[in-house]
Structure 1
Amino acid sequence: MQRAIETLTIECIKGDITEQPDIAVIVNAANKQLKGGGGVDGAIHRAAGPKLVEASRAQAPIEAGEAVITPAFDLPNDHVVHCAGPVYSKSQPVAAQLASCYRLAMQLAEEQNAESIAFPAISAGIYGYPLDEAAEIAVQTVADCAVRAQSIKRVRFVLFSDDALAAFQRALETH
């Protein structure tokens, strides 16, 4: 599914974020120490090779809602933006932190004059963010960034499960 918002084409697919050779920048749902882990983070680190660990650790730690950028090394992309998504909680400003991840990733990709960026469902795995809420924040934030987008023309949400894909498609349909 895809939809045009301003000058951006936003699309949702089910797939592996490490296998997006037509995308300039991919986004990693990283931990604060930027040292690799499970899920998307582990997959990206395995695919990019050991130089990614060195490059990302040199910029650690980061706090929830923050992002840094590194080369993509052995991945078929130019760069990886590492976002530390928040652990879900109703008592903290997690929505603002999650939105910040998407906004900063878009900004870092723009600074590289990237034409495309791919996101996973940040914080919707082991960090426990409810899929529908995570999807709504992600799509809304990217749509808000569309007005300012200069180089980015395509945003792809690469989702790990049918449930995640359905949640992001629902969010995209309403924007």
Structure 2
Amino acid sequence: MNAALRRTGSRLGMAGWLLAVWLLLWGRIDALTVIGGVIAVVLAYAVSRLPVVPLAARVRPVRLAEAALEFAWDLVASSIVIGWHALRAPRRIQGAIIEVDARSRSEIILLAVTTSISLRPGTLLVDLDWDRSILRIHAMPVRSPREAGAARDGVLGTERRLMRALVTPDDTRPEER
């Protein structure tokens, strides 16, 4: 896919997303609301430089469903762990800043990973070095190097699942495209 087509697809995707948010904010779908949303999107593009959203070259639906189920399981499990520690000994919960070297160079994968870990109870993105694909996360509870390694492995597992589900040009070798 050439760069101009990819940029156009990305802009249309962002426009569709903005229109969907507009409709959700209004809470109804009728001709006047849709026309107003289209005008708002056109104005947003005219007065600002909205970023180009990277696209996935290929989406694997089964792998994406697996990633979504594993994310749901991670939400439940981390909520239980954090809740248990908060009720048992709230003053003794220890956290750590953990550096994770991501394998992906794709902005869409890194964005999905950082969103995923920030939505989970007990983890939060602190810093992201886009150039080197290094994530710094705050994780809790972390009381030992072994638990820090487990938190790092959890982030890398999320990245691995998302890389299998969303094939991007930045992460594929030329012979795989």
State the TM-score, normalizing by the size of structure 1.
Answer: 0.26
State the TM-score, normalizing by the size of structure 2.
Answer: 0.25
Rg larger in 1 or in 2?
2
Q: Which has the higher contact order (CA 8 A, sep 6+)?
A: 1
Report which of the two has the higher share of strand. Answer: 1
Report which of the two has the higher share of helix. Answer: 2
